[in-house]
Amino acid sequence: MHAPAPGAEAFKAAMRDQWDHSAQGWNSQSAKIRCWLTEATSAMIEMANIRPGMRVLDVAAGAGDQTLDIAKRVGTEGRVLATDLSPRILELCRDNARNAGFENINTLAADGEALQLEESSFDAAVCRLGLMFFPDPAKALGAIRRTLKPGAAFCAVVFSTPDRNPCVTALVSTALAHAGLSPRDPYQPGGLLSLGKPGLIDELFRQSGFERVATTRLDAPFRLPNVNDYLDFVRTSASPVLQILGRVDEAARGAAWADIERKLSAFNTRDGWEGPNELLLTVGQRS
């Protein structure tokens, strides 16, 4: 139903390189990301039923924006393990934890599809905007479920359908057109919208043995002063657009960015710029 792409290991090695390379840039955008995802993060923490004193697994934690919120929630009696494929981004997660004064955060560089953690050792797990990048998310779901204690919940946040995430769609389709490449299936494994296909993520959770699976949709518009703030965010993240435009010469790249800016300016508002996004928050429990 969602077959992993051939060459999954090479895909993940490239993903690690991209995120190592973009780690600093992603971290520099933390304030924007924090504003954009505040509501989604609170909802994710609630859905995973994270409470004081708990031991929580954060998969694909990145520079740890949500990790800090979880660390605050579990308090000094609890702990968070932030894991990510990219060792560079986890260094920033550690810096951010230290600078914010948290002593209850540990980090571990690990592929979310191959977590080597003690079975039944976590009270909850989350993954914010990471699971869609996994070539074999079912494998990751099985590995995450195994680490949970009976009754513990896992909540994942991913993008929904292309029509509800028009900026992501416009970015990728415009970049592909300028690179002379054919349009891609937006749901192809490992892509930004790969888990947005209606019903897919619930099915993957169930197939991986999770129970009481439920998905909530959440509007998460990206509100910024102007379109260039969004383009800065895209340029400093490990967006697939950068890989696509990495193949073309400078003139074609400039033309592609100008076209992208023109298309995304359709989301200018009287008060600034507002890019619509819809997220899926899916929760499942280990029985």
Given the rule CB under 6 A, which residues bind ligand SAM?
Answer: 12, 15, 19, 33, 60-62, 65-66, 84-86, 89, 111-113, 128-130, 133-134
The helix-helix angle for 166-178 and 250-264 (nearest 10°) equals: 150
Dihedral sign of CA atoms 36, 39, 44, 45 in order: positive
Write out the DSSP string of 67-108. Answer: HHHHHHHH-TT-EEEEEES-HHHHHHHHHHHHHTT--SEEEE
DSSP helix/strand/coil, 167: helix
- Which of 66, 165 has the CB closer to ligand SAM? 66
- Which of 177, 218 has the CB closer to ligand SAM? 218
User: Across the strands, what pairs with 279?
Assistant: 159, 218
Tell how strand 105-109 and strand 55-59 pair up: unpaired
Dist CA 70 CA 74 (whole Å): 6
User: Which of 228, 221, 266, 260 minimizes the C-alpha distance to 244?
Assistant: 260
The H or E element spanning position 154 is strand 148-159
- Which of 17, 259 has the CB closer to ligand SAM? 17
- The structure tokens listed for 29 are 């955008």
Dist CA 126 CA 231 (whole Å): 28
- Which of 45, 178 has the CB closer to ligand SAM? 45
Whole-Å CA distances, 154 to 60, 120, 142, 146: 13, 13, 11, 11
